[in-house]
Amino acid sequence: MNSSSVSRRGALRTLAVAVALTAGAAPLWEATASAAASAAEPATYTLTITHLDRTGARTADYATNVTGISGPGAEETVHPYDASGTTTVRLPRGRYLLDSSLTTGKEGDGTDWIVQPRLDLDRDTAVTVDARTTAPVDVRPPDRSARFLHSAMFVRVTHDGVTRDANLINSTPDLRVAHLGPDGEPGSVRQWFDAYWSAGTADYALGYTFTGARALTGLTRHPARGDLATLRARGAARPDTDGAASLDLQPSAGPTVGLSRRVAAPGTATYYVTPERGTWDLAYTAPGAPGARPNRYAADGIAVHAGRTTTHTFDNAVFGPDLTGRPGVVRQGDRLTVDVPLLADGDGHVPSAPSYGSARTTLHRNGVRVGSRTDAPGRAAFTVPPGNAAYRLTSTVDREGAPGTATRVTAVWTFTSRTTAGPVPVPVSAVRFSPALDPAGTAPANAALRVPVAVQGAGAGGYVSTPAVSVSVDGGTTWTRVPVERGAVTIRNPRAGKGVSLRAELTDTRGNTLTQTIIDAYRTA
């Protein structure tokens, strides 16, 4: 063998060894970087989930969710599935919420929902979701003829300050549920169940809440009529509107799916609700003129009591200013913000899109006009010079050309105000008139009508003497003072087809004044 052939063969072998080393082992700096990256990655474990149907056989008819709560897997959410009924997934160490719904695929069999609020993944773990562990949710109203509409069940789990939810919406009454796995910490699991039924003339809203360490395994509630509260929603029929109204009912607290229905205007919807669910929210979308934006009212946080009836009337007179739950006018620094609904309905519900022709809010300071705004009725903002001054604020909305009630509403306030360091309510008041009217906003002609009078805002709570009330039956051309006795005035109504206008004037104990006028507060029929 000559030297040249030895040299070539040796060179090829050396190259092969070099290639093998490159493929099989990284250089020292690269290996060090790889080890550091590996150490930074969280450990992962295999989660194996087996799904069994009501016969104990593995099933493909399931939907499973695994949601991270805390630890390195807190942001993980997966939906593992395998048609064999057993599925695996690798996840970072941490605590998870697992929920799984199983069905048979046959109509009328319903759903099995199994919830594991506490799944601590710190090793390879196997979980069996077994439909045979579930118990029925048997919640139904006292009226056996009522038709089931839908139900919603929510589970909320909190751990280490993090909250995660799971839910199941059901269109049939056939639901079975079960807890899976160990208990969570006391109070860490909250659960809500709401079911809705219709009996034709009334609807049932049966809601319940639970707090503890476990998810529910079954639920039985058969309330009697006396266990339920009655909630009535009346819709008015204003002359300038057309069509049916819509009503939405839902519990105030917690996640839920509510109930929606159409109602004639005028018309009444009746609900039987569970006081155990807490307060309830009603939303009423009034019928409107063709092409007009829907006008929506909300009544939130309605307290109910077993055996008692609560009634809310929407979109009926007397329309006027309302300060419920709001200061009305706020000064922050040298900026005055006005938010006084001028067209709240007779029950004080504030409309989202009231119909009107024009609106104007004007502010004077020490007799000098600061400015005017023509935005939504009773809403405006002004920047004023610093320091203390006397102000007059006038807000008017006109509904000329629209038949019916409240064709014009005006409120004039006077007050003093100075520069503030933060948001400070300005002392303004409002007066509410609350006669009993029919759904068209009318009262009997040629009859005496008692009209309750209530003061809101700065003048309430003993800060004002009884307001002076006047009445007009000629559109505000002439006024007649009527005495306020035991919180109301008595008005002798004119002949049919006339509008009755109301004016209130007051001065509170600090010298702030209000003059409030409602032209055509109600009409006679």
The CATH number of whichever domain residue 245 belongs to comes to: 2.60.40.10
Pick from 287, 314, 341: which residue ends a domain? 314
By percentage, how much of the chain surpasses pLDDT 70?
90
Same domain, 334 and 291: no
| Amino acid occupying residue 131 | A
Tell me if 218 is assigned to some domain. no
Tell me if 452 is assigned to some domain. yes
Helix (H) or strand (E) holding 13: helix 3-24
Task: Please state, rounded to an integer, the average pLDDT across all residues of the chain.
Answer: 90
What is the number of domains present in the chain? Answer: 3
Same domain, 343 and 486: yes
Tell me if 511 is assigned to some domain. yes
Same domain, 400 and 291: no
Pick from 314, 345, 360: which residue ends a domain? 314
Average pLDDT over residues 97-124: 93
Average pLDDT over residues 125-147: 97
Tell me if 213 is assigned to some domain. no
Same domain, 385 and 484: yes
Report the C-alpha gap between 31 and 63 in whole angstroms: 42
Tell me if 487 is assigned to some domain. yes
Tell me if 446 is assigned to some domain. yes
Average pLDDT over residues 260-273: 94
pLDDT value for 23: 33
Confidence band for 449, pLDDT divided at 50, 70 and 90: very high
CB 349 within 8 A of CB 297: yes
Q: Does the pLDDT of residue 26 top 80, yes or no? A: no
| Amino acid occupying residue 49 | I
User: Using one digit for the tens of pLDDT, what is the confidence trace for 142-197?
Assistant: 999 999 999 999 999 999 999 999 999 999 999 999 999 999 999 999 999 999 99
- Name residues whose C-beta falls within 8 Å of residue 396's C-beta, 6 or more positions apart in sequence: 342, 359, 360, 361, 408, 409, 410, 411
pLDDT value for 40: 56
Confidence band for 352, pLDDT divided at 50, 70 and 90: very high
Confidence band for 326, pLDDT divided at 50, 70 and 90: very high
Same domain, 520 and 401: yes
By percentage, how much of the chain surpasses pLDDT 90?
81
3-state secondary structure of 372: strand
Beta strands (DSSP E) in 213-279 are 219-221, 229-235, 245-251, 259-263, 267-273
pLDDT value for 413: 98
Same domain, 347 and 461: yes
Same domain, 383 and 242: no
Pick from 166, 200, 234: which residue ends a domain? 200
Same domain, 298 and 341: no
Same domain, 310 and 338: no
Confidence band for 238, pLDDT divided at 50, 70 and 90: confident
Tell me if 78 is assigned to some domain. yes
Taking the CA atoms of the chain, what radius of gyration do you get in angstroms? 34
Pairing of strands 329-332, 423-425: antiparallel
Q: Does the pLDDT of residue 38 top 70, yes or no? A: no
Lowest-pLDDT range of 82-86, 270-274, 459-463, 476-480:
459-463
Q: Is the pTM of this model over 0.75?
A: yes
DSSP classification of residue 17: H
pLDDT value for 11: 33
Same domain, 232 and 305: yes
pLDDT value for 48: 98
Q: Does the pLDDT of residue 427 top 50, yes or no? A: yes
Q: Does the pLDDT of residue 516 top 70, yes or no? A: yes
| Token pair of 281 as six digits | 């929210």
Average pLDDT over residues 47-67: 97
Report the C-alpha gap between 3 and 9 in whole angstroms: 10
Lowest-pLDDT range of 8-12, 198-202, 458-462, 467-471:
8-12
Q: Does the pLDDT of residue 87 top 90, yes or no? A: yes
Tell me if 28 is assigned to some domain. no
Per the structure, the complete domain to which residue 105 belongs is given by 44-182+190-200
Tell me the DSSP string of 119-157. EEESS-EEEEEEGGG-EEEEE--S-TTPEEEEEEEEEEE
| Token pair of 395 as six digits | 């807000």
Report the C-alpha gap between 321 and 351 in whole angstroms: 11
The CATH number of whichever domain residue 163 belongs to comes to: 2.60.40.1120
* Phi (first) and psi of residue 218, to 5 degrees: 75, 160
| Selected residue with higher pLDDT from 133 and 42 | 133
Same domain, 388 and 356: yes
* Cα–Cα separations (whole angstroms), residue 379 to 231, 390, 459, 521: 32, 20, 21, 21
Same domain, 360 and 504: yes
